[in-house]
Structure 1
Amino acid sequence: MGVDASGFVEVGLEEGRLRGARRDGVLWFSGVPYARPPVESLRFAPPEPPRPWTGTRDATRPMPIAPQAASRLAAVMGDFSRQQDEDCLQLTIATPGVDGGHRPVIVWLHGGGFSSGGGGLDWYDGCRLAREGDAVVVGVNYRLGALGYLYANGLSPGNLGLLDQARAIRFVREHARDFGGDPDAITLMGQSAGANAIAALFAGGHAGPGIRRVILQSGAYGIGALDTDRAGEMGERFLHHLGLADAPDRARDLSVATILAAQGAVARETAQLGETAPPFHLLAHPPGLPADFRFDTLAADAMAGVEILMGVTARECQAFFARDPRMACLDHDGAQARLQALYGDAAAGDYARRHQARPDIHAADLFSDWISDFVFDTPTLRYADRASAAGAGVYFYRFDWQPPASDFGSCHCLELPFLMGTERAWNGSPMLGPGGPQAIERLSATMRAAWLAFARNGVPAAPSLPAWPRYARDTRLAMHLDDQPRVGNARA
């Protein structure tokens, strides 16, 4: 193995040889298969190990992403275009060297509501993290939407995307040394659906050895996991739109476009203002998860002895509601009625109390803040409380930075450009405002340094940060990340 004069590099794995390239000061491999293509008889089936290949596999081109419809946050993050293919169970790997080093390994699980995104998107380019932190950074593709999370008797057992992630982690552990990494120093890092997945991997016993640390960014733990009744209802709707209620196994032969069309129809007919959970996501049922799965109990307890960096943005749900035209005509009575319909009398009463305490707030803002608290803030704090009590070393952050005069504020996904990707990838992202990537340069460097320090030694630290205390239930101290970072209460 080694880099030739042209800048290409070859690595020999047990499965076959890979050809990568030098990129942005590190070595880059894309489209590394960690499982067999989930097509034909393997569509709607758990992942199987990759088959060996002959010759040298080209890993110098961007890998395809899982089949998906347009992201519901395209107006927030920006849009992307990438080849889609069911043959997507692949990795992107950035490493400073294939030299037998023992570098920390960061495995990235992307968000996207279990229905969009990809581990190799330019937004999530890991080259800068690999270069600055002397680390191996791995982006994971996994199956999405109905192809990854459908639960339907006679067709799919559910949680296939979760099992994909477990297979990817096993592959990374087995091959970490081939890419200059330490299989006993793995950090799992995920945002939104990716953070939910990491918790589920631990609760389901899929994380495996070698994972010392986890980074959980904006986990939507309040959406919980589907029970078999609700998941089964979504499966029945899906098969109905395919016309296959009595012959579900025929879905294995349909085109991807037909699958996505039925998935979209289910999403549209079940969508409600204030409901953030997608129709196809984690299922509290084997395979993958225990039937009594909860993030703040089983997942937190399963992380005893693991070091955790976790947190939220200050106004998560502005990403979902700021540009929703239905919010413009929402009044307080309508907002309270909507919450009562979705979450019951207690939710409506809590909204009324918050309105009484903040009488001048607009209904759209209070509604968005209430959902943010219900889906993100309070469940994340409960998770942190239990994990720290169980013996995990927890560090908490609250991302407060926001661009000037932005209706998005410090919304869901806003921390991502501070950590991953290239300036070009994030240039023009609506949530960053007119300043673009240049406006975030200083805090971005600080956050990357802190995240990389955590991956290396379990303590997030950077020269421009005050000392970051461990989280404890009685104090709930957190690092507030802004132009002037400070330590304060995680709720403030």
Structure 2
Amino acid sequence: MTGRPTGRLRGVPVDAPNEAATAAVRRTGPIRYATADRFGPPQRTPAGSDEAASGEICPQPPSRLDAVMGTPYDLYLQGEDCLSLRITAPAAPAPPRPVLVFFHGGGFSSGSGLLDWYDGSRLSAEGGLVVVSAGYRLGPLGFLRHQGVSEGNLGLLDQLEALRWVRENIARHGGDPDNVTACGQSAGAISLALLLRHPETPRLLRRAILQSPVLELATTLPEQAAEQGAFFAEALAGDPRTATFGELLGARSATAEHVAARTGSRVMPPFGPVLGVPPVPAEPPTAGLDGIDLLVGWTREELTAFGLPREAARAAEEEAFTRPVAEFARWARAAGARLATYRLDWAPEGSAYGATHCLELPLLLGDEAAWRDSPLLGTVPWHEVDAFGRALRATWSCFARTGRVDPAPTAGYPVRWGEDQGVSAA
């Protein structure tokens, strides 16, 4: 590994108590699930090992969604020892419990599974789940495609390795390796949509929840990624294999400006998954998803988070989510999966963003301390956020346990469930 940690996320120390981590749950980690040399494939830790990780997060710039989500209160060193995960499980002894593995969003550029935003204590305590939040490599370290350096998609290989680790090791933490649901939001959801093309993935999970998958961003071609990689290398003016984190992030920012100028969009990340590069086949398979249950959805005004006015965000919904999700659903069902959809319409009082991107996260993960002063929640008191969250968490937990969608807990709340689902109602 090359370089030294040079940056931190702002906030309180990492070992500050999380109020949601009550006696009802136990939290384990960070555990190292794999190691990797820079631009090398992940190497899984030995089976049966719960090797403590350093707690580093992948080097990254500030999130472009800080104005929407707020700034995380956690404090972490940034470094390349970032292939780690955290486990939250009910403290009471029980038969093996259903497992939910969460992959965070952040445009393949920011975030970490260790952030308190993604703590699974409430899901564990209320739903009886073992929740795993996993990190993966980001930006150029995870997705650079450049000849002689990296083919790309290392971040996806990391996620696949995390799922393999769960399969081999989660039983020691009270989880059922035969009842695993992978859940991703935004970039994490795009990742899962692509990993479902890999023949091994259906053997590692039974279900998947895709929250706000911007599927149009999952179509980067090898030649396009190579062009962006060449621009990055020129901006770096040095060897990516020995560059400091600051130099890598500086060239990444230049590449982001280049991509925005070329595409006219600041939603497109400068580095992301590449079709046809392992573990992503160029074309989706026509079979192989038999027995897989999928839940896919989005929020009504996703794109306000990226600068669109609310009415414009609603007008863009068809092109950005409804049509791409319908196309994904046709493929998944034809390949053997069962699929249900949802849309979150909640517009918190006092928020200028409405039902924006990431709004479901504080309903499902983290706690009041993690989400305090988050602009996307407006002026809604936390007890009201948590009441709605409890209903949504009940539906997510039911799906993770059984593969069924039970809309009953959210009756009276602004969530729309698809009516032509292949997944049975509870």
TM-score range for the pair, normalised by the shorter chain length = 0.7 to 0.9
CA distance in 1 between counterparts of 2:71 and 2:106 reads 12
Q: Which residue matches 1:43?
A: 38
Which of 68, 75, 91 in structure 2 is aligned with 1:82?
75
SS at match of 1:203: coil
Aligned residue among 275, 279, 287 for 1:284: 275
Give the secondary-structure state (helix, strand or coil) at the position aligned to 2:323: helix
Once the two structures are TM-superposed, the CA of residue 290 in structure 1 deviates from its matched residue by 1.6
Deviations along 1:40-62, one digit per CA (max 9) or x if unpaired, are xx1011101226999x9557xx9
C-alpha distance in 2 between matches for 1:427 and 1:452: 24
Match of residue 478 from structure 1: none
Aligned to 1:477: none
The CA deviation at 1:291 is 2.6
Match for 1:421 among 352, 366, 390? Answer: 366
Question: Do structure 1's residue 306 and structure 2's residue 295 form an aligned pair?
Answer: no
1:152 to 129, 137, 146: 146
Structure 1 residues 103 and 53: CA distance shift in structure 2, 3 A = closer
Structure 2 residue aligned with 1:483? 413
Once the two structures are TM-superposed, the CA of residue 154 in structure 1 deviates from its matched residue by 0.2
User: What residue number does 2:55 align with?
Assistant: 63
Q: Which amino acid aligns with 2:296?
A: M
- SS across alignment from 2:298: strand
Provide, for residues 9-31 of structure 1, a one-character-per-residue CA deviation record: whole Å limited to 9, x for no partner. xxxxxxxxxxxx99422111122
Residue 340 of structure 2 is aligned to residue 395 of structure 1: yes
1:318 equivalent to 2:289? Answer: no
Q: Pick closer, same or farther for the CA change 1:152–1:371 going to 2, 3 Å.
A: farther
Determine if the alignment matches structure 1 residue 194 to structure 2 residue 188: yes
Q: Is the 8 A contact 2:145 2:229 kept in 1?
A: yes
State the one-letter code of the partner of 2:70: G
Whether contact under 8 Å (1:185, 1:210) holds in the other structure is no
Identity %: 40
In structure 2, distance between residues paired with 1:265 and 1:188: 33
For 2:288 and 2:305, locate their aligned partners in 1 and report how far apart those are by CA, in whole Å: 31
TM-score, normalization by structure 2: 0.86
1:72 maps to which of 44, 47, 64: 64
Q: Which residue does the alignment assign to 2:5?
A: none
Secondary structure of 1:252's aligned partner: coil
Aligned-pair distance for 1:199?
1.4
For the aligned residues, what is the CA RMSD?
A: 2.6
Moved more, 157-166 or 313-322: 313-322
Per the normalisation by structure 1, the TM-score is: 0.75
Residue 368 of structure 2 is aligned to residue 439 of structure 1: no
Matched ranges for 1:1-40 at <5 A:
23-24=21-22, 25-36=24-35, 38=36
Count of matched residue pairs: 397
Distance, in Å, in 2 between the alignment partners of 1:191 and 1:149 is 18
CA contact (8 A) 2:89 2:124 kept: yes
User: In the alignment, which of 159, 164, 176 is matched to residue 182 of structure 1?
Assistant: 176
- Contact conserved, 1:114 with 1:193, CA < 8 A, in 2? yes
> Which is greater in Rg?
1
Find 2:329's aligned residue among 375, 378, 384.
Answer: 384
Do structure 1's residue 259 and structure 2's residue 248 form an aligned pair? Answer: yes
Structure 1 residues without counterparts, runs of 5 or longer: 1-20, 245-249, 293-297, 323-363, 467-481
For 2:362 and 2:381, the matched residues in 1 are separated by 10
Partners of 1:255 and 1:410 in 2: how far apart?
Answer: 39
Could you tell me how far 1:279 is from its partner in structure 2? 1.3
CA distance in 2, matches of 1:131, 1:365: 35
Partner Cα distance (1:206, 1:431) in 2: 37
Counterpart Cα distance in 1 of 2:395 and 2:285: 24
Asked if 1:209 is matched to 2:203, the reply is yes
**Residues 346, 415 of structure 2: 8 Å contact kept:** no
Structure 1 Cα separation of the partners of residues 47 and 333 of structure 2: 43
Q: Note the residue ranges of structure 2 that are not aligned, 5 or more in a row.
A: 1-17, 421-426
CA spacing shift, 1:299–1:276, aligned 2, 3 Å: farther
Match of 2:394 in 1: 449
Rounded to whole Å, the distance in 2 between the matches of 1:439 and 1:201 is 36
Q: Does 1:464 align with 2:394?
A: no
Cα distance in 1 for residues equivalent to 2:159 and 2:385: 31
1:345-371 alpha-carbon deviations (Å, 9 max, x no partner): xxxxxxxxxxxxxxxxxxx55543454
Q: Which has the higher relative contact order, 1 or 2, with Cα contacts under 8 A spaced 6 or more apart?
A: 2
Q: Residue 156 of structure 1 aligns to a residue in which SS?
A: coil
Q: Are the structure 2 counterparts of residues 23 and 275 from structure 1 closer, same or farther at C-alpha, using a change threshold of 3 Å?
A: closer
Is the Cα contact below 8 Å between 1:426 and 1:437 reproduced in 2?
Answer: no
Q: Is the 8 A contact 2:29 2:86 kept in 1?
A: yes
Within 2, Cα distance between the matches of 1:269 and 1:488? 39
